[in-house]
């Protein structure tokens, strides 16, 4: 067994003895696809290791193999903690101290904190009855070990996402745990909460627990990772120390190509102001927000989760009415009570969650593009004119170069990037004067991201539309906006112009990641 291991050459295995996970020649094929193709993957005991890659790069397949959810093709060598494993199922992984925390968490919202933490106890103890004393003891000790303080009897449904995540971590580090896999754990956390999570990960490291951290937020990777493995197209590109990398290089490694971003063309002088917001307030959401956007201008709004950015956008879109203040479109004051009214007033909003808010996944591409303009494609006898809606849809598909099998295909068959373009089409079809984009490139790969950005900039160049781009990714607003508003806890703190020192300002002064 030992010989077999030394045969495989790898410069990153500093010491074979210290490896916790040491997988060689791992492949996974699906009909027509090679999700993983002869990949070696390893990291050490107690290491904080990051796994990065685009969608479809094979990183989630690897996680599933490590956690025993799926089995690799024959021929793989899998060594966990020095023992060679021939076939591994979910239970074997758990027995070897591997725990996974999925992005959507595995908690029971209707049960209390203590029961969620100690849920595994039911499987560990004998007899049909629950020992409530043991449940409480276990919950208390688990919470203590990561310095978490919560009312044991609170229902999990009443906790914030960050608290829920910590409850799940507390629940999974019980027993003889060696590896914690976190799948995109920071996606919906505020900065403070991310700090708290990272502190917890470091605490676990002190106890000798390794963390495999999967993320697409590159700056967070630099902050927490000891080493980074990059996957691309089902193959391993390499293992790196964070200090060898920077943002640009990492993107290059992930995509295999350099993405050059050009700043947007300057706004034409004398371009009219299309949107003005004055002293807009809504209790518990945001306060005294004032700004304006001119035709052809892209205004960035950045801020952490919980800064009120999405709530503000929803107010402009009529779905979260402001309590005071006023909104002007082309100098005329408007009241938007509903999003239908906002659409009529020329406002369009691309929501942050494509899957649940942006698209009707099982329905056709045609249906999704025309949903906003059904009233406009009414023809003879006040009936829908199918040929007109079809030609309109084709027009947008061409303009945004959406790759699709047919107009009748369900949107869920498209890739993330093409799906996002369908969302853009459906709103651009309404001919908006103001386009609000809320996190328009979350969860889509770098190329699709770039093509969305290019399209948005082209759109602005036309000079008849004002664009508001909301993002918590600093580089997205820096590269694509004319001006940037920084929001925090419901207030606009400052306005920043992209430029040489803008990045430093955003990162340091406002502590944005």
Partner 1 sequence: MKFCPAPTPRLRYWRNSTLHNRKTSRRNVISRAFTRSETYLFIILFVLVAVVSIISPRFFTARNALQILRTSAFTGILSIGFLFVLIQGGLDISFTATATVAQYLMALALVSKGNVPILVVLLIPIAVGMLLGSVNAVLIHRLKAPSIIVAIANLNIYYGVLQIISGGTWIYNFPDWFDRVGKGFVFAFVDENGATFGLSYLTLIWIAVAIVAVVVLRYTKLGRHLFALGGNIEAARRSGLSLFRLRLFAYSFLGLLAGLAGIVQALDTQTVAPNALVGREFDVVAAVVLGGANIFGGAGSVGGTLLGVLLITVITNALTLLRIPAYWHQVFIGAVVLASISVTSLRALLARRKERIIDVR
Partner 2 sequence: MFAEFVKRYQSWHDRNQDIAALPWLLFVVLAIMTVATGGRFLRAHNITNLLAQMPELGLLSLAMMVPMVTAGINLSIISSANLTAVIMALFLKGVFPQGAGGGTTIIIIVGAIALGMIVSIVLGLLNGFLVGYVEVPAVLTTLGTMILYEGITLAITRGFVISSMPEAYLLIGNARILGLPIHMIIFLVVALVMAIIFHRRPYGRHLFFVGSNPTATAYSGVNVRRVLLKTYVISSVLAGIAAVVMLARFNSANARQGSSLLLSTVLICMLGGTDPFGGFGKVLGLVMAMVILQAVTNGLNLLGVRSFATVAIWGAMLVGVIAYRYYQHQKWERKRKQLQRARMQQ
Name the residue nearer to partner 2 (CB basis): 211 or 451: 451
Stretch that binds partner 1, among 76-84, 104-112, 223-231, 423-431 (CB under 8 A): 104-112
Q: At closest approach, how far in Å is the CB of 163 from partner 1?
A: 9
Residue 249 in 3-state DSSP? helix
Candidate residues 229, 372, 393, 419; the one interacting with partner 2 per rule CB under 8 A: 372
In angstroms, the first-to-last Cα distance of the chain is: 45
Which backbone phi and psi does 420 adopt, to 5 degrees? Answer: -65, -35
Residue 288 interacts with partner 2 (CB under 8 A): yes or no: no
Contact 238, 230 (CB under 8 A): yes
Binding characters for partner 2, 131-170, by CB under 8 A (x = yes): ----------------------------------------
User: Is the Cβ of residue 17 or residue 374 nearer to partner 2 in the bound state?
Assistant: 374
Report what 123 binds from partner 1, partner 2, none; CB cut-off 5-8 Å by kind.
partner 1
- Spatial CA neighbour of 98 closest among 117, 114, 80: 80
Is residue 341 near partner 1 by the rule CB under 8 A?
no
Closest to 476 (Cα-Cα) out of 292, 293, 218:
218
Tokens of 71: 């089995």
Distance from C-alpha of 457 to C-alpha of 297, rounded to nearest angstrom: 9
In angstroms and rounded to an integer, the radius of gyration of the C-alpha atoms of the chain is: 25
Cα distance between residue 454 and residue 446, in whole Å: 12
* Binding of partner 1 by 280 (CB under 8 A): no
Binding residues with partner 2: total (CB under 8 A):
40
User: Could you tell me which residues are beta bridge partners of residue 327?
Assistant: 277, 334
What minimum distance in Å lies between the beta carbon of 449 and partner 1?
20
Q: 17 vs 130, which CB is nearer to partner 1?
A: 130
Residues from 367 through 426 that contact partner 1 (CB under 8 A): none
Q: Counting contacts by CB under 8 A, is residue 90 touching partner 1?
A: yes
Binding of partner 1 by 151 (CB under 8 A):
yes
Residue 263 binding target from partner 2, partner 1, none, CB below 5 to 8 Å by type = none
Residues 296 and 93: their CA atoms lie apart, in Å, by 55
Residue 505 interacts with, from partner 2, partner 1, none (CB under 5-8 Å by kind):
none
Residue 30 contacts which entry, partner 2, partner 1, none (Cβ below 5-8 A, type-dependent): partner 2
List, in order, residues 6 or more apart from 77 with CB less than 8 Å away: 4, 5, 8, 23, 24, 25, 84
Examine residue 499 and tell whether it contacts partner 1 (CB under 8 A): no
Q: Residue from 314, 329, 469, 484 that binds partner 1 (CB under 8 A)?
A: 314
CB 285 within 8 A of CB 308: yes
Exactly one of 4, 14, 103, 122 binds partner 1 (CB under 8 A); that residue is: 122
Binding mask 248-287 for partner 2 (x = CB under 8 A): ----------------------------------------
Figure out which of the listed residues 4, 95, 103, 109 binds partner 1, where binding follows CB under 8 A: 109
Query: Which of partner 1, partner 2, none binds 378 (CB below 5-8 Å, type-dependent)?
Result: partner 2
Confirm if 60 and 183 have CB atoms less than 8 A apart. Answer: yes
Q: Does 106 bind partner 1 (CB under 8 A)?
A: yes
Q: Helices 416-428 & 446-461, crossing angle to 10 degrees?
A: 20
Strand partners, 336: none
Stretch that binds partner 1, among 76-84, 100-108, 254-262, 270-278 (CB under 8 A): 100-108
Instruction: Give CA–CA dist 67/436, Å, rounded.
Output: 40
The binder of partner 2 chosen from 80, 94, 299, 367 (CB under 8 A): 367
For the record, the structure tokens of 290 come out as 């004032």
Looking at beta carbons only, is 117 or 392 nearer to partner 1?
117
The C-alpha atoms of residue 161 and residue 189 are separated, in whole angstroms, by 7
- Select from 75, 238, 405, 499 the one that contacts partner 2 (CB under 8 A): 405
With CA atoms as reference, report the closest residue to 139 among 120, 160, 115, 155: 115
Are 301 and 487 a contacting pair, CB within 8 Å? yes
Tokens 């781009």, residue located: 469
Nearest to 195 by CA among 421, 203, 85, 102: 203
Query: Which residues sit at the interface with partner 1, rule CB under 8 A?
Result: 90-91, 102, 104-111, 115, 119-120, 122-123, 128-130, 132, 151, 157-158, 160-161, 188, 283-287, 305-308, 310-311, 314, 319, 352-353, 356-357, 362, 488-491
Binding residues for partner 2 (CB under 8 A): 30-34, 55-56, 319, 338-340, 342-343, 349, 351, 356-363, 367, 371-372, 374-375, 378, 382-384, 386, 405, 408, 410, 412-413, 415, 426
């Amino acid at each position: 067994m030992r010989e077999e291991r030394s045969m495989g050459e790898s410069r990153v295995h500093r010491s074979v003895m210290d490896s916790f996970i040491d997988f060689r020649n791992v492949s996974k094929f699906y009909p027509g696809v090679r999700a993983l193709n002869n990949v070696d993957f390893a990291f050490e005991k107690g290491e904080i290791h990051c796994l990065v890659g685009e969608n479809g790069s094979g990183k989630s397949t690897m996680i599933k193999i490590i956690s025993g959810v799926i089995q690799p093709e024959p021929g793989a060598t899998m060594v966990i903690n020095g023992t060679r494993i021939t076939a591994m199922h979910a239970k074997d992984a758990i027995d070897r101290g591997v725990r996974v925390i999925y992005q959507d968490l595995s908690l029971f919202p209707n049960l209390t904190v203590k029961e969620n933490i100690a849920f595994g106890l039911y499987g560990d103890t004998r007899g049909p009855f629950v020992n409530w004393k043991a449940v409480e003891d276990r919950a208390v000790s688990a919470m203590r070990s990561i310095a978490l303080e919560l009312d044991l009897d609170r229902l999990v449904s009443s906790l914030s996402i960050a608290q829920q995540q910590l409850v799940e971590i507390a629940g999974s580090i019980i027993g003889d745990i060696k590896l914690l896999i976190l799948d995109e754990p920071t996606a919906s956390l505020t900065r403070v909460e991310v700090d708290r999570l990272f502190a917890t990960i470091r605490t676990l490291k002190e106890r000798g627990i390794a963390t495999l951290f999967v993320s697409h937020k590159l700056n967070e990777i630099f902050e927490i990772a000891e080493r980074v493995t990059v996957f691309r197209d089902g193959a391993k590109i390499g293992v790196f120390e964070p200090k060898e990398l920077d943002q640009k290089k990492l993107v290059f490694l992930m995509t295999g190509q350099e993405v050059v971003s050009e700043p947007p063309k300057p706004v034409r002088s004398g371009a009219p102001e299309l949107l003005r917001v004055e002293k807009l307030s809504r209790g518990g959401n945001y306060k005294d927000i004032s700004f304006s956007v001119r035709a052809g201008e892209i205004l960035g709004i950045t801020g952490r989760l919980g800064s009120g950015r999405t709530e503000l956008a929803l107010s402009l879109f009529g779905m979260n009415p402001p309590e005071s203040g006023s909104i002007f479109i082309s100098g005329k004051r408007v009241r938007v009570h509903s999003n239908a009214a906002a659409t009529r007033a020329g406002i369009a909003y691309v929501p942050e969650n494509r899957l649940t808010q942006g698209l009707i996944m099982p329905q056709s591409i045609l249906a999704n593009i025309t949903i906003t303009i059904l009233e406009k494609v009414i023809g003879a006898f006040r009936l829908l004119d199918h040929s007109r809606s079809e030609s309109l849809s084709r027009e947008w598909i061409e303009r945004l170069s959406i790759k699709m099998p047919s107009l009748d295909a369900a949107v869920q068959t498209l890739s993330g990037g093409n799906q996002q373009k369908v969302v853009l089409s459906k709103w651009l079809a309404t001919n908006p004067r103001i386009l609000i984009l809320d996190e328009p490139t979350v969860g889509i790969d770098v190329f699709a991201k770039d093509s969305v950005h290019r399209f948005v900039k082209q759109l602005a160049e036309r000079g008849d539309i004002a664009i508001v781009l909301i993002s918590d990714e600093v580089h997205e607003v820096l590269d694509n906006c004319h001006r940037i508003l920084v929001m925090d806890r419901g207030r606009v703190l400052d306005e920043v112009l992209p430029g040489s020192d803008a990045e430093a300002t955003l990162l340091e002064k406002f502590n944005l990641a």
